[in-house]
A and B are shown apart, each in its own frame.
Chain A
Amino acid sequence: MSNHNDDAVLVKLTLDQGSQYFGKLVKRYSDYVYGLGMRLSGGNDAQAKDVSQQAFIKAFQYLGSFNPNHKALGTQEGTRFRNWLTGIATNCYADLARREAAYLPLTPHVEQTQQTKGQASNFSEFNDLIRSLTIEERQIVTLKYVYEYKVDEIAGMLSMKAGTVKSKMSRAISRLREVTDEQN
C-alpha cells in the first residue's frame, strides 16, 4: 500500500487539498531539478535556479495532467514523477535560453565569465564542454549520457522523433570530440 510520502499520493493530495503538499515535492526534487538546470546551462547558477522555479510552477499548473500510470514515464513506479518533472524542466530550460538569447546576446567570453564568477566549486569539465553545443544538443546529451534516459524517452520529452534525437545526438558527440581534440 502506498504511504503518505509517495509522489503519486502527494500529487493527489495537492490536487484535492491544496498547494501545501506540493511544497514536499518541491523540497524533494529541488536539488535534482537544480542539478539538471546546472548541467543544461553549462554551470550557470542563476539560470539553473530560474529553470528550477519555472519547472515547478509549470508542474503545478499542469499537475492535473500527470498520469502516474502512463507508460512513457517509465516502468519504475518511484521515478515516474521525476521523469515527468525532467521533461518539464528540460523544456523550461529551452524556453528560458531562447528568450534570453533574444535580448541578451553575450559574447562567449562574457558568458563564460558570468557562468563561473563566484562559483569555482561549480566548475566541471562537463559544464565547460557542453557550452559548445546548441540548446537541443545540450538537452539530448545531458539526458542521454548523464541521466541515462532512452532515446524514445528523450524523444517523448522533447516532442521529437526518435530518429531526429539520434541524428542530433550523433552530431553533438562529433562536435564534442572535436572540442576535446582541440583542447588536447
Chain B
Amino acid sequence: MSKIDDIFSTEKTRNYSLEDKDQFVFDTLAAISTSKTQRLKRFVTALGIALGVLVICVQFILLKYASFESIVQQAELLMTQKPYLLAAFNITLIGAIMMLRRYRFF
C-alpha cells in the first residue's frame, strides 16, 4: 500500500464535527431568512423601477400624441359623472399600500 493510499484510508475513518451544532443551525436558518427577505426586496425594487419606467413611457406617449386639454376634460367628465369610480380607485390604492406595508415589502 502506498503512502497516499494510506493517507486516504486514514482520512476516510476521520470524523469532523462542528463545535456548536445548534448555533450553526440557528445561524444558517437566520441567514436563509435574511436571504429570502433580500430576494423579496430586490424583486419589489425591480418591480417598482419597471412600473416607474412604464408610467414615464405612458406619460411621454400621451403628452406627445394626445391633446393634453382633451385628457383633462375627459378626467373632469369622469370625476363629475362617475365620482364613485375615483373613490374606488383611491380606496384600492390605499388598501394595496397598507397591505404591502403590513407584509414589510418595503
Answer whether residue B86 sits at the interface, using C-beta atoms and an 8 A cutoff.
no
B contacts with A: majority SS: helix
Q: B25-33, B43-51, B52-60, B62-70: which one contacts chain A?
A: B25-33
Residues of A within 8 A of B27 (CB): 53
Answer whether residue B104 sits at the interface, using C-beta atoms and an 8 A cutoff.
no
A31-B11 contact given A19-B32, A22-B32, A180-B3, CB 8 Å threshold: no
**Which among B12, B16, B33, B35 has the greatest number of chain A C-beta atoms within 10 A?**
B16
CB proximity of B18 to chain A, nearest CB, Å:
5
Q: A56-64, A83-91, A102-110, A161-169: which one contacts chain B?
A: A56-64
- Establish whether residues B16 and A38, one from each chain, have CB atoms under 8 Å apart when the complex forms: yes
Answer whether residue B80 sits at the interface, using C-beta atoms and an 8 A cutoff.
no
Question: How many chain-A residues does the 8 Å CB contact rule pick out?
Answer: 32
Instruction: Report the bound CA distance from A126 to B89 in whole Å.
Output: 68
CB proximity of A52 to chain B, nearest CB, Å:
7
Residues of A within 8 A of B1 (CB): none
Question: How many chain-B residues does the 8 Å CB contact rule pick out?
Answer: 24
Instruction: Report the bound CA distance from A121 to B8 in whole Å.
Output: 18
Question: Which A-chain residue is minimally distant from B3 (CB atoms)?
Answer: A180
- Establish whether residues A184 and B18, one from each chain, have CB atoms under 8 Å apart when the complex forms: no
- Establish whether residues A26 and B28, one from each chain, have CB atoms under 8 Å apart when the complex forms: yes
CB proximity of A22 to chain B, nearest CB, Å:
7
Answer whether residue A155 sits at the interface, using C-beta atoms and an 8 A cutoff.
no
- Establish whether residues A31 and B16, one from each chain, have CB atoms under 8 Å apart when the complex forms: yes
- Establish whether residues B7 and A53, one from each chain, have CB atoms under 8 Å apart when the complex forms: no
Residues of A within 8 A of B2 (CB): 177
- Establish whether residues A31 and B18, one from each chain, have CB atoms under 8 Å apart when the complex forms: yes
A contacts with B: majority SS: helix
Residues of B within 8 A of A126 (CB): 7-8, 10-11, 14
Question: Which B-chain residue is minimally distant from A129 (CB atoms)?
Answer: B7
Residues of A within 8 A of B18 (CB): 30-31, 34, 49, 52
Instruction: Report the bound CA distance from A170 to B33 in whole Å.
Output: 42
Instruction: Report the bound CA distance from A169 to B98 in whole Å.
Output: 59
- Establish whether residues B31 and A180, one from each chain, have CB atoms under 8 Å apart when the complex forms: no
Residues of B within 8 A of A134 (CB): none
Residues of A within 8 A of B28 (CB): 26, 30, 52-53, 56-57
- Establish whether residues A19 and B8, one from each chain, have CB atoms under 8 Å apart when the complex forms: no
Known pairs A19-B33, A176-B4; list 16 more (Cβ under 8 Å): A19-B32, A23-B29, A26-B29, A27-B25, A30-B28, A31-B16, A34-B17, A35-B15, A35-B17, A49-B18, A53-B27, A145-B8, A173-B4, A177-B2, A180-B7, A184-B3
